[in-house]
Amino acid sequence: MTKRDLIDEVNKRFPHLSRRDSEVIINAIFDSMVDALAQGDRIEIRGFGSFVVKHRRARQGRNPKSGALVSVAAKRVPFFKVGKELRLRVDGKSVELEDGVSE
């Protein structure tokens, strides 16, 4: 699914919104997520998963073409950890809700 597909889905579910409004909503959500991760915050979406920033230390790598050693600087990278409900749904299993009812 692409960003355009997400905008189309919002348009389908909320026909009273214009396509431009749907695009602004999707962009605002993504911009907020990017800003939060850039500040080192954690984003948790229940039933979906969580986004965190992991710190990778500096290390020695290899150039795959020449085999020469290359210094790789320390960096921060975004990491997504899938939630239990999403993992089960993708696997085709039913999801137990909190009140004991299956979906």
Contact present, 89 and 47 (Cβ < 8 Å): no
Mean pLDDT computed over 56-80: 95
Residues 6, 46, single domain; the answer is no
Q: How confident is the model at residue 94 (pLDDT cuts 50, 70, 90)?
A: confident
Residues 13, 51, single domain; the answer is no
| Alpha carbon distance 89, 65 (integer Å) | 41
Domain that holds residue 30: 1-39
Contact present, 34 and 23 (Cβ < 8 Å): no
Full-model pTM: 0.75
Residue 30 pLDDT? 96
Mean pLDDT of the chain: 91
For β-strands 49-56 and 69-72, DSSP reports them as unpaired
Does residue 97 surpass a pLDDT of 90?
no
Residues 48, 25, single domain; the answer is no
Residues 13, 24, single domain; the answer is yes
Residues 19, 57, single domain; the answer is no
> Is residue 33 domain-resident?
yes
Mean pLDDT computed over 26-40: 96
Residues 48, 85, single domain; the answer is yes
